[in-house]
Structure formats: structure tokens, C-alpha cells
Amino acid sequence: MLDLDHPRSQHVLEAARIEDLIRKLLLAWREDAAAASSARAQVLQTLIPQLEALNAAHFGASKKIYRTLDALGRAVQGTDAGEAWRAFMALDGPGDNFGTWAI
């Protein structure tokens, strides 16, 4: 469970907000291939850079988080919505991520 009094909590919540946007885009892509181009652009050009900036500013520039985000970016560049979804799921559970799964 997330400790709301922890100084990093607001940043974990911000990461969760961004991850929710990515989730919605990837789900739309999985349901309709026509959404792929828009989803890719938003995730790659806006949302992953926001998560990278959050990592740099508030998570000690974690190399593990950067690797997770890099894997997501590579998957989103592809044409397989399922692969992009699987890469996204690395953000959604215990592991090398922002810890949003603990919310």
C-alpha cells in the first residue's frame, strides 16, 4: 500500500496518472487497429518522455525504470498491439517501475 505521507507519494500518483493515459491508448489500439498511429504518437512523443522526466527528477534517474520505459517504447514502435500491451504490463506490477501497482 502506498504511504501517502512519503515524500515520493505525489510523484508515484503522477506516474499512475500518466500510466492510466497509456493504458487507455493501448486498449484503444488493441480494440481498433485504426487507433494505432495516434496511440503510438502520444505514447512515444508525450507520455514516455513525461515518465522519463519524472524518473530523472524524483526517482534518482533509475536505470531500471529507464530500461522498462525503453522496452515499452520499442514495443510501441512496432505493429503488434499485444506486444505493446505486454511491455506496458511491466509498469503495472512489482518490478522495475514507479511502484504504482501499490496504490
Tell me the per-residue pLDDT of 63-100, one tens digit each, with 9 for 90 and over: 999 999 999 999 999 999 999 999 999 988 888 999 89
Query: Can you give the pLDDT at residue 2?
Result: 65
For 47-58, write each residue's pLDDT tens digit. Answer: 999 999 999 999
**Residue 26 within any structural domain of the chain:** yes
Query: Can you give the pLDDT at residue 49?
Result: 98
Q: What's the residue count for the chain?
A: 103
Q: How many domains does the chain have?
A: 1
Cβ atoms of residues 51 and 16 within 8 Å: no
What cell was used for 54? 519524472
**Residue 78 within any structural domain of the chain:** yes
pLDDT at 4 over 90: no
Q: Which of 95, 97, 99, 71 is nearest to 85 (CA)?
A: 71
Q: Residue 79 is part of which domain span?
A: 9-97
Identify residue 75 by its one-letter amino acid code: A
Helices 81-88 and 9-31 pack at an angle, to 10 degrees, of 160
CA distances from residue 56 to 6, 32, 53, 63, 102 in whole angstroms, order as listed:
18, 34, 5, 10, 21
For 12-60, write each residue's pLDDT tens digit. Answer: 999 999 999 999 999 999 999 999 999 999 999 999 999 999 999 999 9
**Residue 19 within any structural domain of the chain:** yes
Query: Can you give the pLDDT at residue 7?
Result: 78
Q: Which of 94, 97, 86, 90 is nearest to 26 (CA)?
A: 86
Overall average pLDDT of the 2-7 stretch: 74
